[in-house]
Structure 1
Amino acid sequence: MNAESEVAGLRLLTAAGARMAGVLDMERVARHLVAAALGEAAEAGEAAGGGFADTVGVYVVEQLIVGDELPRPPGVRAVEARRIAVGAAGTDLEPLFPSGETVVFAAGTAYAACVTGGTPQRFAELDRHFALEPRVPPPRQARERLADLSDFLLVPLRDGEAVLGLVAFARGSASGPFSDADAAVAADLAALTAGCLEGARRYQREHAAARALQSGLLPLPPGAVPGVRVAHRSVPAGRANLVGGDWCDIIPLPAGRVALVIGDAMGHGSAAAAAMVQLRAAARTLAMLGKDPAQILTWLDRITPGIGPVQFATCACAVLDTAARTAEICRAGHPPPVLLRPGGGCDVLDLPPGLPLGLDGAEYENTRVPMPDGSTLVLYTDGLIETRDRDLEAGIAALRGALAGAAAGLEDACAGVVEKLIVPPNHDDVTVMLVRTGT
């Protein structure tokens, strides 16, 4: 490789790395690779560079998309793949070979050999080697571009021992064939892309798992519990977390009763979320067995030390009796609930604070509170009211102020409280639940 080629290769790798750095979406990673290889400008007003290739296509094995699995061991077989990005200099190939389309590369083709063997492939004629025919008649410009292609280089997207897919580079007659130095640059470019794709794949997998966990843990939808209306919001700490240690739950019980539970497992992220799941499930079971709030918290206190690295948690529990229009409420080291009266007025309920769950041997006491129709019980975690610049008392005062000026609609009121009290990125998980009696 001469000095000029080496500089051009380094420039391409640098440009591609800068585009793909920090990108956590597989399709966007692939589109950045295509743009860099075609020499497209990264930003408006930036001059485009000389293209490394005249057309580029990025394919990943289908099981990474639908099954979140690494490819099977190499072998002679057909390869099911998905095209996640495609581009060509001077024309648009997207209508012909759309991104997101699933394709099958037959065993024996260069495409299948590139993936199953993990080795680069070269050929000169598109029609003989390409596994697909365009689905629609190509326009003249695209047809001319495809007909002019005379050198094809397939490079595996290898991450360690796994081959995630391939990149197909092609050049026309004016650009000339790929040299050995070009093939080396293409291999480095594919390796860089494979690392970014694997990082994005892992993030997307964790994102999907967190979303599934979060959706599975949401309380019942509004209107699902007769006699009460509910609005709630959860905001995990920071920008990267999707779930945390906070939870809330609504549990319908016989005879017009409803259990409400809100809790905060110590910490953030996956460890706190794992503890939260266990505590939430236990609280739900205890409520359905007919335990009152103090009994629920007593059992949770016994359970908490055995659920893993989380040392303790706070929790508040209430059982509403919609017929008697009362609520029994108990808390374990949790911030005090707030009660909005039907005719106005906002009271912080004076309840015994209790010890956090997990300290073992704590005693909890129920308090009965009148809940006439139109009352709104506000349960929340400390992340809503406490920040680095706001202590507990100031936070409760801010919450009362936000509730006093809240909209009449429950959903709007809940959203307004979160908007007024949280300044992203919040440093603690936040959960708030508004429960209004009556229909």
Structure 2
Amino acid sequence: MFMNIKLSKILLNSVVISVFVTGCTTSSDMTQEEPMVNSNATQDSATSTIKVDPSLPPLPIEKTGKIEVLPAKYPESWMFVDESSFTSMFGGKVIILDINEPKQSKRIKGTADKNLLGNFAAAKTRPEFYIVESFHSRGSRGPKIDVLAIYDKVTLTPIKEITLEHTRLQSLPRRDAVTLSADEKFLYIANFSPAASFTVVNLDTHEVVGTVGTPGCVLPFPTGKYSVTSICSNGSLLTTILDENGLKSSQQRVAPFFDTDKTPIFERPAYIDNIAYFPSFEGEIHAIDLSAEVATYKGKWSLVTEQEKAAGWRPGGLAIADTDEQGLMYVVMNPNGFDGSQTHGGEQIWVFDVKTQSRIAVIDAPNWAVSVAVTRGKDPMLVVSNAEMNLDIINPRTGKLIKTISDFGNITPLVIHKAY
């Protein structure tokens, strides 16, 4: 069928060309009896004979396209996919994806660019999301500029772009490189230049308030109303207390609770009720209470039994843990863990009740898990970024694979975020 259509087009074009050629005359064909016609005179004559009929109705306004907008409140099945485009880093983007949409053509709800391993955060109550990214004047070289782009989540148009004075943290994507205060008045941006600090942005005015140094301590974990806790190289915590204007009021340290050489932890916690649960490389969970003005260490417990630890079970991956609204925590687990395997991912996702500090379910990853995320709502879905850089959608109550989503512009969808 395709060949017949293609052949018909070729034949039709040949006929048109033949007619055009045979219908034309050359200067050698002209005789004295066939003078050359003045084309301009012919056009003027034709124009002068055209008359406008005023009784005819005006032509309708031609539609030039339809502009779609997104809902102010995103459905529970929508997720932000942090596509880092790790093979080039220039084509990174945030993809708004409906994981429940059965039609592939309707699954992508929108995208926003995210250059050079940009960092991302979304507001829950404000109609905005935020991308911190970098650009070189010559593409891959030349002077670098770091910017904060504030996007309208309904129209996906940039509301404002702010140039940042300090070099932002540029690393593999994570959920805590850009964070918001509890009331979403302030945005906190992690810097590493290589001195550690965080920048405070007033989201009411969309202006930079200032930058606070955190020597030896990184990442802005929101604490209390206007405090920020950072994790330090000696195993301690540093809480920076801000005033109502976002300026530094004071800083307090929390005593070391792990050994960075002997018992290192992932700086990627899961959150439940203002408690941050930090997994260690060997399978312990450290609980940090971030509800008050200053962070408080609440102790530790183990994800694995002694037998499982001896067998090699450890957490592993990139975004290795997430939680649902029922208070359960999901962690990627590797059965062949060793010193250095913390980035390797795992073949199972273990589900924990943090109140009882016990495992309640084991889910087999269909295709090796790298990162996990859980949708909002009473009946959440488990989203796994797998080894082939596709997304496995799993029913966490049954552990069954619902579907695998691919071909949505994915190259390296390393981190998935809840959408609000």
Q: Normalising to structure 1: TM-score of the pair? A: 0.28
Which one has a larger percent helix, Structure 1 or Structure 2?
A: 1
TM-score normalised by length of structure 2: 0.29
Higher relative contact order (Cα pairs below 8 Å, separated by 6+ residues): 1
